[in-house]
Amino acid sequence: MEFSIKSGNPEKQRKDCVVVGVYEARKLSEAAASLDRVSDGYLSTILRGGDIDGKVGSILLLHGVPGVAAERVLLVGLGKERELNERSYRQAVRASIKALAGLSSGDVATFIAEVVVQKQDVSWRVSQLVEVAVDSVYRFDRFKSKPADSKKGIAKLQVHVSQRADVAAGEVGLKQGQALASGVSFTKDLGNLAPNYCTPTYLAEQAKALGKSHGLQVEVLEQGDIEKLGMGSFLGVAQGSVQPPKLIVLHHKKGKKNQKPVVLVGKGITFDTGGISLKPGADMDEMKYDMCGAASVLGTFKAIAELGLPLNVVGIIPTCENMPDANAMRPGDILTSMSGQTIEVLNTDAEGRLILCDALTYAERFEPQAVVDIATLTGACVIALGHHASGLFSNKDSLAQELLQAGTAAQDRAWHMPLWDDYQGQLDSNFADMGNIGGRAGGSITAACFLSRFAKKYDWAHLDIAGTAWKSGKEKGATGRPVPLLTEFLKQRVGK
Ligand code: BES
Ligand code: MN
Ligand code: ZN
């Protein structure tokens, strides 16, 4: 989809379709009112007929509206005018894009970004429109043997702003929205890719290719390097697979030379069978998504590189498979982590924390201003928060607040969970410094407590994205979350 920004009259656009909003109780938006005037009340007559009432996301397609240059007019419900907020705005945008995706209207002008959304400005509206539009038409069809109908869908989307003076802000929003959408799509593609293709080696190749195309420094540490570093915990997980593990390190160096970097650490389990503590069969295919933390780090690097964000950022991705094998680690095995702390493996399915803990120790060498890890870590987090919020844990309250605010601004929210010492005792082991599980109670919290033991030397936050990184069922697919949250967080860190 090709985007552009313009300020103009809705009735004069020679397009396949123009999109205008209507509010609840059949009130016309400014653009809709303008079409109504030139058509001698054609729209009001239709609204009075009751075919569309303005409820958020409702739609009505009209053909040949008198006095209007475009072939079609798509009416989109915006809900009650005074209640129009971030959520309803995004719903309305999504509904309009989905409606157009099934038609052969390649050239579209939308006036939805002209409406007033509580607390938000033009560039926010444009940026969100772009992000939601790209998200709405996303498909992963690399493995479909027949291509989709290429005549259908939007080829060009012209986004209109109310006045000439808004065009510049609109362009800023467009650039931000496109960079973000590009990062989100990359994250989704990596997540959706089948696990026989998306191996640790593939992720490393993708990181290198991203480095080449986007001017990032990328290093890949191999099994031997990982051994030399003493990452016994990470290697314990990797030893059950024929796929060699990789430790991917990315550098975005656009800040001042002496500025300490923000470090992002992403869990990259390319398939999680559970290992010897084998998972049940139902829905196990979804464990291909267990590398979505890693994918979100790569997507965020893509977005900030495209934005040219003036900041130093390091990405660390430990990646391997969790497989059952003759050589796989056993429950009862004791691993020695890079930090020197020993871990009794009580359940081989609690593998995410085992690869992350060594990556967190590795992060120390960058003397970070902050470290954020992102992981599909626990089923318990899905039970606690469902699929709407990512779980947020931190050893520094101000960092937690920054991430929460970034999530709200980007409409990619997280919820602050406790990390109190009260929970630490659940990790006690009779045979090693700690066990790798803390029992059923507060499972996402004890997982975070485990990680916190390796993140004592810096400000750290952990995002458990087990419930937000992908969708199950009919709409099965990666969401690209939390790339919007992370990108917004990094934007806010510029100059700090
Ligand atoms: N990757 C899973 C977490 C997961 C499970 C995410 C289901 C989304 C849906 C993780 O490696 C895992 O298996 N965690 C275990 C931990 C338990 C053994 C303490 C879990 O959540 O069941
Ligand atoms: Mn697991
Ligand atoms: Zn896992």
The DSSP annotation for 422-451 comes to GGGGGG--SSSSEES---STTHHHHHHHHH
Instruction: Tell me how far apart the alpha carbons of residues 154 and 472 are, in angstroms, rounded to a whole number.
Output: 27
Q: Mean pLDDT across the stretch 70-88?
A: 97
Instruction: Tell me how far apart the alpha carbons of residues 403 and 399 are, in angstroms, rounded to a whole number.
Output: 6
Give residue 102's pLDDT band: very low, low, confident or very high (50, 70, 90): confident
Q: Mean pLDDT across the stretch 254-275?
A: 98
Q: Whose CA is nearest to atom 17 of ligand 1?
A: 350
3-class DSSP state of 470: strand
Burial of 242 (0-12, 13-18, 19+ CB in 10 A): exposed
Catalytic residue among 72, 125, 254, 353: 353
- CA 347 to ligand 2 center in whole angstroms: 9
pTM attached to this predicted model: 0.98
CA 298 from chain centre, in angstroms, equals 11
Residue 437 alpha carbon, nearest atom of ligand 1: 19
Q: What is the mean pLDDT of the chain?
A: 97
181-197 pLDDT per residue, tens: 999 999 999 999 999 99
Instruction: Tell me how far apart the alpha carbons of residues 487 and 372 are, in angstroms, rounded to a whole number.
Output: 12
Note the pLDDT of residue 147. Answer: 79
- Kindly state the tokens that stand for 53: 């009432």
For residue 122, give the amino acid letter: V
Q: Mean pLDDT across the stretch 206-228?
A: 98
**Which ligand is closest in space to the CA of residue 376?**
1
Q: Mean pLDDT across the stretch 160-174?
A: 98
Give residue 169's pLDDT band: very low, low, confident or very high (50, 70, 90): very high
Asked if 353 is an active-site residue, the reply is yes
Ligand 2 is an ion; its neighbours by CB within 5 Å are 272, 349, 351
- CA 269 to ligand 3 center in whole angstroms: 6
Domain segments of the chain as ranges: 2-161, 181-493
318: how many CB neighbours lie within 10 A of its CB? 32
Residue 151 has pLDDT above 80, yes or no: no
Burial of 456 (0-12, 13-18, 19+ CB in 10 A): exposed
Could you tell me which of 483, 419, 427, 407 has the C-alpha nearest to residue 448?
A: 419
- Kindly state the tokens that stand for 174: 């467009």
Question: Domain 181-493 falls in which CATH fold?
Answer: Aminopeptidase (3.40.630)
Query: Alpha helices, DSSP H only, in 288-396?
Result: 292-307, 352-363, 379-385
Q: Mean pLDDT across the stretch 285-303?
A: 99
Instruction: Tell me how far apart the alpha carbons of residues 78 and 89 are, in angstroms, rounded to a whole number.
Output: 7
For residue 92, give the amino acid letter: A
Burial of 298 (0-12, 13-18, 19+ CB in 10 A): buried
Give residue 152's pLDDT band: very low, low, confident or very high (50, 70, 90): confident
Residue 269 alpha carbon, nearest atom of ligand 1: 1
- CA 436 to ligand 3 center in whole angstroms: 13
- CA 438 to ligand 3 center in whole angstroms: 16
Pairing mode of beta strands 268-272, 312-322: parallel
3-class DSSP state of 54: coil
Instruction: Tell me how far apart the alpha carbons of residues 369 and 128 are, in angstroms, rounded to a whole number.
Output: 29
Instruction: Tell me how far apart the alpha carbons of residues 337 and 280 are, in angstroms, rounded to a whole number.
Output: 28
3-class DSSP state of 64: coil
Q: Whose CA is nearest to atom 16 of ligand 1?
A: 350
Q: Mean pLDDT across the stretch 370-392?
A: 99
Q: Which H or E element spans position 96? A: helix 86-101
Note the pLDDT of residue 104. Answer: 81
Instruction: Tell me how far apart the alpha carbons of residues 437 and 414 are, in angstroms, rounded to a whole number.
Output: 24
Q: Which residues contact 491 (CB under 8 A, 6 or more apart)?
A: 307, 309
Residue 381 alpha carbon, nearest atom of ligand 1: 21
Asked if 125 is an active-site residue, the reply is no
CA 149 from chain centre, in angstroms, equals 28
Note the pLDDT of residue 121. Answer: 96
Q: Percent of the chain, pLDDT > 70?
A: 100
Write phi, then psi, for 107 (nearest 5 degrees): -115, 110
Note the pLDDT of residue 170. Answer: 98
Residue 467 alpha carbon, nearest atom of ligand 1: 8
Residue 105 has pLDDT above 90, yes or no: no
Ligand 3 is an ion; its neighbours by CB within 5 Å are 269, 272, 290, 352
Q: Whose CA is nearest to atom 13 of ligand 1?
A: 349
Q: 343, 376, 378, 440: which to mutate for ligand 1, most atoms within 8 A of CB?
A: 378
Note the pLDDT of residue 4. Answer: 98
Class of the domain covering 2-161: alpha beta
Give residue 495's pLDDT band: very low, low, confident or very high (50, 70, 90): confident
CA 91 from chain centre, in angstroms, equals 18
Instruction: Tell me how far apart the alpha carbons of residues 290 and 300 are, in angstroms, rounded to a whole number.
Output: 17
Instruction: Tell me how far apart the alpha carbons of residues 479 and 373 are, in angstroms, rounded to a whole number.
Output: 18
Give residue 27's pLDDT band: very low, low, confident or very high (50, 70, 90): very high
Q: Mean pLDDT across the stretch 290-317?
A: 99
Catalytic residue among 12, 27, 260, 279: 279
Q: What is the number of residues in the chain?
A: 496
Is there a contact between 293 and 267 (Cβ–Cβ < 8 Å)? yes
237-253 pLDDT per residue, tens: 999 999 999 999 999 99
Q: Percent of the chain, pLDDT > 90?
A: 97
Note the pLDDT of residue 94. Answer: 98
- Kindly state the tokens that stand for 111: 């006036």
- CA 396 to ligand 2 center in whole angstroms: 27
Q: 349, 387, 423: which to mutate for ligand 1, most atoms within 8 A of CB?
A: 349
